[in-house]
Amino acid sequence: MKYHSTRDKSKSLTGGEAIIKGISEDGGLFVPESFPMLPDLKTMLEMSYQGIAQLILELYLTDFTSDEIKKAVAQAYDSKFETEWIVPLAVKGDAVFLELFHGPTFAFKDMALSILPYLLKTALEKSGIKEEIVILVATSGDTGKAALEGFKDVQGTKVIVFFPEEGVSPIQRKQMLTQEGENTFVVRLNGNFDDAQNGVKKMFGDEEFNQLLSENGFVLSSANSINIGRLIPQIIYYVYGYLQLIKENVIRMGDSVNVAVPTGNFGNILAAYYAKEMGLPISKLICASNDNRILTDFFQSGTYDRRRKLMTTSSPSMDILISSNLERFMYHTSGEDESLIREKMDELSNDGVYRYQSEGDIVYPDMATEEEISYWIEFLHKKEDYIMDPHTAVAYCAYKKYCDQSADRNVTMIASTASPYKFSDKVLKSIGVEFTGCDEFEKLNLLSERMHTPVPDKLAELELLPIKHDHISDTGNMKEVTLKLLKGGV
Ligand SMILES: *Cc1c(COP(=O)(O)O)cnc(C)c1O
């Protein structure tokens, strides 16, 4: 399997090379040259999460040996997940939740970021690269912590995370600032997520800067969802989820299902599209946005327009105006039209807007306001005694809207992307629990009573952990800060 750039098909890399590079020099993202087909689903029914992971990774990473993949899978999907199922399903009324938040940082980013370091390490060993790898991360909250945890003390790597000072939840902030590990750096950025993402993208594209790093023995790589090594592991849980639905008699073999995904950078939902292209019977992709409804507008009108103010919402991991992975989706659905992608992405960076009418109607776009998020959190709590986090509630709301206006009654898998414990304010407010004067940890206890589960240890512990990182950066000097951290001049 080779990987091309969405902006230049003549580029051809192995999976390992694409994972190391993260992003192509032309600004494009790496995409597989074709979609491998899944084997007969019947043969996969009894497989564990790890078994399915092995199978899917082997289809995409043909330059890795079976054994290398096996080791990576075993180290990634182990007891650091709260449940041996890795991704349990919760059937609640007419909705099925694919709970992707039982990893070490309680958000779905763990699904890919617990394996990426091992894939990257293996790729590095094969490539003979001698430099130390620097993982640069821009985060809207969850990626940062998941990357720090994943890469913590992984030999030959350093990880630097930029998070927007205004725009992550108190728990997310504390999770990052207390990060342990000799090779981890966390920087608070005076700006929003798009500023962070743009700054990081610029560093990747800056030849002079990369030259300078190389002279100092470093090479940049990315753990953001633009890295193909993030995308591929996310396919696993859609396949696994589908098979669990069969085993639990919710659907029968071959039935079509829909998926509803709370969407920011378009990575999670894109993985569902890849699963569909590989033969998994997925019908609709319900693309759910919050008040930053840029994708809803795009899919409804054909105009992608980032010339608007980014809003801070209760689902901060989706507060994004530049959905990077949409580029991959457009590439695949336009018949791999690289020149069209170049043109549109140039328009986006020069004018902040482009028009593109996507073919077909695989995607159903919709959004949820803050009131709607609260409404549906409370609704499901009352009706099913089940509590969703605000991101998941955005997807649930879009799913409800879809049901209202469509006769389609396919079972829908709702990607449940974060533990409610990470976003206790909004959840408690929604279900009508008074918490004035409570600190973060008292709030977790209040929520614990309603969830009928203990506060996860790793979150309860945060209260006692010391702050380890105090770096700050403006949007204009991310490069300088990065250099300083790497050279140890802290
Ligand atoms: C990252 C994230 C999302 C958005 O996922 P994308 O792949 O960026 O679309 C949604 N919910 C949570 C909790 C997240 O951490």
Of the listed ranges 152-166, 231-245, 278-292, the one predicted with least confidence: 152-166
Q: Give the tokens for residue 377.
A: 């959190």
What average pLDDT does the chain have?
95
How many CA atoms are closer than 13 Å to the CA of 158, on its beta-carbon side? 19
For residues 313 and 195, give the distance between their C-alpha atoms in angstroms, rounded to a whole number.
Answer: 17
Nearest protein Cα to ligand 1, atom 14 = 317
Q: How far is the CA of 125 from the centre of ligand 1 (A)?
A: 30
Q: 32-67 pLDDT, tens per residue?
A: 999 999 999 999 999 999 999 999 999 999 999 999
Q: How far is the CA of 325 from the centre of ligand 1 (A)?
A: 12
Q: Where are the alpha helices (DSSP H) in 77-165?
A: 109-113, 116-127, 142-151
Give me the mean pLDDT over the 381-407 stretch.
Answer: 97
Ligand 1 contact, 107 CB (< 6 A): yes
- Say whether 429 is catalytic: no
Q: How far is the CA of 44 from the centre of ligand 1 (A)?
A: 28
Work out which ligand 1 atom sits closest to the CA atom of 392: 11
Q: 69-127 pLDDT, tens per residue?
A: 999 999 999 999 999 999 999 999 889 999 999 999 999 999 999 999 999 999 988 99
Q: Give the tokens for residue 36.
A: 């491998």
Q: How far is the CA of 267 from the centre of ligand 1 (A)?
A: 8
pLDDT of residue 151: 94
Q: 415-447 pLDDT, tens per residue?
A: 999 999 999 999 999 999 999 999 989 999 999
Work out which ligand 1 atom sits closest to the CA atom of 418: 13
Q: At what angle do helices 228-247 and 267-277 cross, to 10 degrees?
A: 60
pLDDT of residue 224: 85
Strands 353-355 vs 303-305: parallel, antiparallel or unpaired? antiparallel
Q: For 286-344, give the secondary structure using H, E and C.
A: EEEECCCCHHHHHHHHCEEECCCCCCCCCCHHHCCCCCCCHHHHHHHHCCCCHHHHHHH
Closest CA to 63 of 283, 246, 229, 200: 229
Contact of 140 with 316, CB cutoff 8 Å? yes
- The CATH topology of domain 3-78+109-228+468-486 is Rossmann fold (3.40.50)
pLDDT higher than threshold 80 for residue 195? yes
pLDDT of residue 488: 82
Ligand 1 contact, 318 CB (< 6 A): yes
Ligand 1 contact, 267 CB (< 6 A): yes
Q: Model-level pTM?
A: 0.94
pLDDT of residue 173: 94
The best mutation among 318, 324, 416 to test binding of ligand 1, ranked by most ligand atoms within 8 Å of the C-beta, falls on 318
pLDDT of residue 490: 43
Ligand 1 contact, 381 CB (< 6 A): no
Ligand 1 contact, 418 CB (< 6 A): yes
pLDDT higher than threshold 60 for residue 274? yes
190 phi/psi in degrees, rounded to 5: -75, 85
pLDDT of residue 249: 96
Environment class of 357 (CB within 10 Å of its CB; exposed 0-12, middle 13-18, buried 19+):
exposed
Q: How far is the CA of 212 from the centre of ligand 1 (A)?
A: 33
pLDDT of residue 222: 86
If phi over 0 gives left and psi between -120 and 50 gives alpha, with beta otherwise, what is residue 347?
Answer: alpha
Residue 25: DSSP 8-state: T
Contact of 269 with 324, CB cutoff 8 Å? no
Q: How far is the CA of 315 from the centre of ligand 1 (A)?
A: 9
Other C-beta atoms closer than 10 Å to the C-beta of 300 total 12
Nearest protein Cα to ligand 1, atom 2 = 317
How many CA atoms are closer than 13 Å to the CA of 459, on its beta-carbon side? 27
Q: In sequence order, what are the residues at sequence separation of 6 or more whose Cβ sits closer than 8 angstroms to the Cβ of residue 323?
A: 263, 264, 265, 266, 294, 295
Ligand 1 contact, 392 CB (< 6 A): no
Ligand 1 contact, 31 CB (< 6 A): no
Q: 301-325 pLDDT, tens per residue?
A: 999 999 999 998 999 999 989 999 9
Which residue reads 């617990």 in tokens?
114
- Burial code (b: 16+ CB inside 10 Å, e: under 16) for 222-241 equals bbbbbbbbbbbbbbbbbbbb
pLDDT of residue 54: 98
Q: Give the tokens for residue 41.
A: 């689903």
The best mutation among 175, 226, 265 to test binding of ligand 1, ranked by most ligand atoms within 8 Å of the C-beta, falls on 265
For residues 373 and 397, give the distance between their C-alpha atoms in angstroms, rounded to a whole number.
Answer: 7
Residue 359: DSSP 8-state: S
pLDDT of residue 197: 87
Which one from 11, 21, 109, 284 is the annotated catalytic residue?
Answer: 109
Virtual torsion, Cα 239, 457, 290, 260, nearest 10 deg? 20
Contact of 100 with 389, CB cutoff 8 Å? no
Closest CA to 417 of 80, 144, 111, 78: 111
